[in-house]
Amino acid sequence: MAAIFLLLALLLLSERSLSVPICEAEKYVSALGDGGMRNRNTRIALEAWNFCNEVGSEAPTMGSPRLADCADLSCPILAEDLDQRLGSKCEVYHWVNDTDNKLAAGDKFPVSGFTSYRDPDLFASEKERYLGSLCKVQDNEEEPWFFWMIMLKNGNFDKNSTLCPENGKKVGKIVTGRNFPCFGQGCMNQPLVYHNYSRLIADENGTMHLTGGFNGTYDLDGKGAGKTSFFSVSWKKNVQSGSWVFSNTLTTSTKYPWLMLYIRADAAEGFNGGYHYNGRGMMRKLPESPNFKVKLTLDVKLGGGPNSQFYLIDIGSCWKNNGHPCDGEVLTDVTRYSEMIINPATTSWCRPDNLVSCPPYHTSASGEIIHRNETSRFPYSAYHLYCSPGNAQHLERPYDICDPYSNPQAQELIQILPHREWSVHGYPEKQGDGWIGDSRSWELDVGALSSRLYFYQDPGSKPAKRVWTSINVGTEIYVSNRQETAEWTVSDFDVLVPEQKAISS
């Protein structure tokens, strides 16, 4: 009993010290290379993941599932400033060509400095770094940045395969009572991807812009229409605001009932949420709780059915249970995610009669700690679910362990719902806010909110620095028994951090 009290006291202390008030006078700057999506050039990559955020095996003729569209728009000065009809003289320069995008495991890279791994998982990570080297942007003296990352993930899991570790541990045979979708051998395949390289289009006044897209399907025998799975991401400029508008579609099928499609602002270099390799991304400064904000415009046109966990937004990071930052050692690294799900069909699994799905305690905006068993005060409806990392040693009962297979390492997940507890930070207040027909431009105080969330740490350990390496928006259409489609656009995406406190990635 004494041990539990001590643990609670330590947790109370550590949480309090995190809720430092924000100094409003501080100047915020964009942490992104393409802040607000205003760049005239494209820096966009696509990555596809299997159930445990790896490749497993490549889809036939597709190469390694890492692609990029990095195009510069170049127009004669005169055309831009004086006579816009001269826009026809504009040119597109592509930094990444089809040979690069088709590189497959074992292929030699066109330049030195990259290893041609035969292992498709290792190759994909190397290819991401190679594509990054082609797309890299370095303005003045500032840190380099690379691309927006479009992430596609197939939730099928073949328990007969040994492709995925268990809480980071290699296992010879998967023994679990958990059920996962899988239609049979090969269900964890990578998608077919088609790429419209960015090309010129003129707006009504003859000013030139770029537009392009990726689409595809997981059904290797399908054509991407009818009863097959489908995804599409295309980009064009909102000529009024100057922002890119990313239009997204995701359709599940009987064979692929669980799919995810996000646009991610990842750390420019280093690990990013859910991925244990050195990646390439857009955030040249890493946001740290409690001082950062996220801006974006989100227009949900089709929801994707009752199981579509639409995230406004998903933040991902990694730290060990002792509070140390992750180092790629998958047995002790723990991916930490927090997501607000805005689909109003999503219910609260965290309830007074189901404390197992609640975090041990809630921290109010004023810093007050409310234990989940205080049924008259705990805001159950502010939470969808909470689950604990599978490698935690001192969990408070009752607890649920997060799925041990769907990440390369153990994970912890805290999923929240629109609620007055969170709307003080600019988040949706009630179910339906920001949903279909309610397109909005959000300014989310993600830093303040994320500093209030419960994350597990070993008793007595120094609280982890909550530095976030991935900020994502999109949907996870969770196992659906019928074909579902989600459709949405994202624009004006930005991550703002205090000018001085910015930590280089």
For binding to ligand NAG (CB under 6 A), which residues are involved?
Answer: 4, 8, 97, 99-100, 110, 134, 158, 160, 182, 184-185, 194, 196, 203-205, 213-215, 224-225, 232, 234, 239, 371, 373, 396
Show the tokens assigned to 489. Answer: 């656009």
Show the tokens assigned to 468. Answer: 């976030």
Residue with tokens 């249970």: 321
| Minimum distance from residue 134 beta carbon to ligand NAG (Å) | 6
**Could you count the other beta carbons within 10 Å of the beta carbon of residue 497?**
23
| Minimum distance from residue 421 beta carbon to ligand NAG (Å) | 20
**DSSP letter at 73?**
E
Rank residues 254 and 332 by Cβ distance to ligand NAG and give the closer one: 254
Rank residues 47 and 396 by Cβ distance to ligand NAG and give the closer one: 396
Cβ atoms of 487 and 301 closer than 8 Å? yes
Cβ atoms of 282 and 484 closer than 8 Å? no
Contacts of 4 (CB under 8 A, 6+ apart): 396
| Minimum distance from residue 465 beta carbon to ligand NAG (Å) | 27
Q: What is the secondary structure of 444-491 as a DSSP string?
A: E-HHHHHHHS-----TTPPPPP-B-SEEEEEEEE---SS--EEEEEEE
Rank residues 213 and 434 by Cβ distance to ligand NAG and give the closer one: 213
Phi, psi values for residue 351, rounded to 5°: -145, 160
Q: How far apart are the C-alpha atoms of 324 and 307, rounded to whole Å?
A: 35
Task: Name the residue among 25, 43, 2 with its Cα closest to residue 131.
Answer: 43
| Minimum distance from residue 494 beta carbon to ligand NAG (Å) | 22
Among all residues, whose Cβ is closest to ligand NAG? Answer: 213
| Minimum distance from residue 186 beta carbon to ligand NAG (Å) | 9
Strand partners, 319: 325
Show the tokens assigned to 58. Answer: 């490549």
Cβ atoms of 201 and 207 closer than 8 Å? no
| Minimum distance from residue 418 beta carbon to ligand NAG (Å) | 27
R_g of the chain computed on alpha carbons:
22
| Minimum distance from residue 195 beta carbon to ligand NAG (Å) | 6
